[in-house]
Structure 1
Amino acid sequence: MTTKSISSPVPDAWYPTLAVFMLAIGLVVTASFFIYEATSSRKNRSLVKELTTAVVASVFLGFGSLFLLLSSGIYV
């Protein structure tokens, strides 16, 4: 029985690029969330839109942070 070495599904050279793009997308979505919260009245807000925007921003910022750590040599 032979053992396989564990390898990343994403090439190491892509880590910095993925970190920049995912963090940028996450920050843009976060900014749009804050703008939506600041410009809409309490009566016109939609909980579904708020949750969807928050989840999308959270996913992109989370994976962006992961790839930033990986690209800097901190393997988590």
Structure 2
Amino acid sequence: MAPSAKPISSPVPDAWYPTLAVFMLLIGLVVTASFFIYEATSSRRNRSLAKELTTGTVASVFLGFGSLFLLLSCGVYV
């Protein structure tokens, strides 16, 4: 006999979804703004590809997870 199956549950409590969405989107937007400010104020000779890729990756991760938690808090289960 196969053991009884456990229901799938989220590692994060459902009550935390709105809070996580707000904080992650806020952090992502701040990092995105700092990226745009860096691009607008630095000259072409002083730019660092590593800094641009790192900043872009961090902003992308926070905005992606923030969007995911926003959808989950609204009841759109993806």
Q: Which runs of 4+ in 1 moved over 3 A?
A: none
Task: State the match for 2:9 in structure 1.
Answer: 7
Gap runs ≥5 in structure 2? none
Give the TM-score taking structure 1 as reference length. 0.99
Give the TM-score taking structure 2 as reference length. 0.97
Gap runs ≥5 in structure 1? none
Structure number, greater radius of gyration? 2
Q: 1:61 aligns with which of 63, 66, 73?
A: 63
C-alpha distance in structure 2 between counterparts of 1:42 and 1:11, whole Å: 46
Alignment RMSD, CA only? 0.2
Q: In the comparison of the two structures, how many residue pairs are matched?
A: 76
Identity %, equivalent residues: 86
